[in-house]
Amino acid sequence: MAPRLQKKTDDRVVFLQQFLKNPRQVGSVIPSSRYLERRVVALAEVPTARTIVELGTGTGGITRAILEAMPHDARLLGIEINPRFQELLNGFGDSRLIPHAGSAEHLRDILAQHGLPAPDAIISGIPFSTMDRGLGTRILASIAEVLAPGGRFVAYQVSGQVAKLALPVLGAPRRQVEFLNIPPVRLYRWDRR
């Protein structure tokens, strides 16, 4: 297991600042709880994944949990659209992490740009409920297109919008709720056959 990565700033302050600047893009006023982090890692089966993609890294709480749980020879592609969050991601200093500034709708091209194979796990905290429906649909289609056979897509969300949008391309998900998070968060998992 990798050593615990240190936070370089107070994540809650940075997260709140970015939420106030663009609430539709950030989607929450505070970062994920450690309980949510653990649940996401377990649901995505991170310890058995070789290539992992995180969509919307935020201040990096889930990113740190993924890095701690993933194998030493695995790769984590962190895609973030927010410039301030991207700065934080660039400062992690873990060679297994590949930070990428851009939109998740271009997932196939981003994977190719970094020479990565189809991901075993894709984890998303991006707020599907506040983004344009067309963009959300394109991101989900991109996920369905690139996910490896036997791979899993895990989304953690405040609302159920992602399950509705994903139904035509990914089918019905398994569902869980993490109550030890503010606010409580719904978790969804889809498996590629």
Q: What is the CATH number of the domain that holds 52?
A: 3.40.50.150
19 domain residue, yes or no: no
Q: Would 69 be classed as within a structural domain?
A: yes
Distances in Å between the alpha carbon of 130 and those of 27, 45, 100?
A: 7, 27, 22
- Distant-in-sequence, close-in-space partners of 184: CB < 8 Å, separation ≥ 6: 177, 178
pLDDT at residue 3, as a whole number? 43
pTM for the full predicted model: 0.85
Residue 6 falls within a domain, yes or no?
no
* pLDDT computed for residue 163 by the predictor: 97
Number of independent structural domains in the chain: 1
Q: Is residue 27 part of a domain?
A: no
Helix (H, G, I), strand (E, B) or coil at 43: helix
pLDDT at 17: 45
CA 77 – CA 52 distance, rounded (Å): 6
User: Quick one: pLDDT at residue 10?
Assistant: 62
Give the structural domain span for 181. Answer: 32-191
Torsion sign, CA atoms 168, 174, 144, 25: positive
Residue 11 in domain: no
Identify whether the C-beta of residue 39 lies closer than 8 Å to the C-beta of residue 183. no
The whole-angstrom separation of Cα 175 and Cα 154 is: 10
For the chain, which ranges sit under pLDDT 50? 1-9, 12-20, 23-29
22 inside domain: no
Any domain includes 14: no
The verdict on residue 25 lying in a domain is: no
